[in-house]
Chain A
Amino acid sequence: QKEVEQNSGPLSVPEGAIASLNCTYSDRVSQSFFWYRQYSGKSPELIMSIYSNGDKEDGRFTAQLNKASQYVSLLIRDSQPSDSATYLCAVILSGGYNKLIFGAGTRLAVHP
């Protein structure tokens, strides 16, 4: 099993809808989780981090962590065409110095 897995998509949602992106992880990760956004032809940029069970909100973005089920999700409310990008889930591997590992990413397309 890979340390972190995501559905590659594409996930297509209409403008104004809620986009839901999911990520599952293995037992080999620590309890630090991150969402990066990567626009086509650009570098990834951090948009959310979450460390404890439950929800964390930042503007239109909400990160949700469920440790019992080993998944973390990202909700984007009122999706805009400018949110169209690839969203990368990232986790820290346990043991030794922290190593940040990325999932393959989910491509989100928000259509007007």
Chain B
Amino acid sequence: KAGVTQTPRYLIKTRGQQVTLSCSPISGHRSVSWYQQTPGQGLQFLFEYFSETQRNKGNFPGRFSGRQFSNSRSEMNVSTLELGDSALYLCASSPWEGSNEKLFFGSGTQLSVL
């Protein structure tokens, strides 16, 4: 069974640009969560989707958005990039319908904002 797939693996953008990251969950998993990881802040929860609906949202500005498609694949978008958005963005999927306790993480997208 294929794991969680995130693309692209690396991205370099400049301030003010926007970026879209993609995540394909493990087959059969319907919950997808997104996290931002930085050395200073650790893993910060962005949002979680289940059956194309956002169920949970973290404390990030509106520049961060996401969506989930009918095949459970998910995308997150960051508009008007800032230097502080440089981070590893991790996507995780979960097999449980009512909870996202056990997460399976992808390899992440390393975003650098110059």
Contacts and interface: CB of A to CB of B under 8 A. Distances in A.
Interface stretch (B63-71, B77-85, B105-113): B105-113
Interface residues of A, number: 20
A102 B56 contact: no
Interface string B65-98: 0000000000000000000000000100000001
Interface string B27-46: 00000010100000111010
A34 B101 contact: yes
Interface residues of B, number: 21
A98 interface: yes
A2 to B, nearest CB: 10
A92 B48 contact: no
A56 B96 CA distance: 22
Interface in A39-89: 42-46, 49, 88
A44 B43 contact: yes
Contacts, number: 53
Contacts of A45: 105
A103 B41 CA distance: 9
A22 interface: no
Nearest to A33: B101
B102 A98 contact: no
A104 interface: yes
Contacts of A101: 45
B19 interface: no
A86 B84 CA distance: 23
Interface of B: 33, 35, 41-43, 45, 48, 50, 55-56, 90, 98-103, 105-108
Given A44-B43, A88-B42, 15 more contacts: A34-B101, A43-B106, A43-B108, A44-B90, A44-B103, A46-B102, A49-B101, A49-B102, A92-B99, A97-B50, A98-B99, A98-B100, A98-B101, A102-B42, A104-B42
Interface of A: 32, 34, 42-46, 49, 88, 92, 96-105
- 4 closest A-B pairs by CB: A43-B105, A104-B42, A102-B43, A97-B55
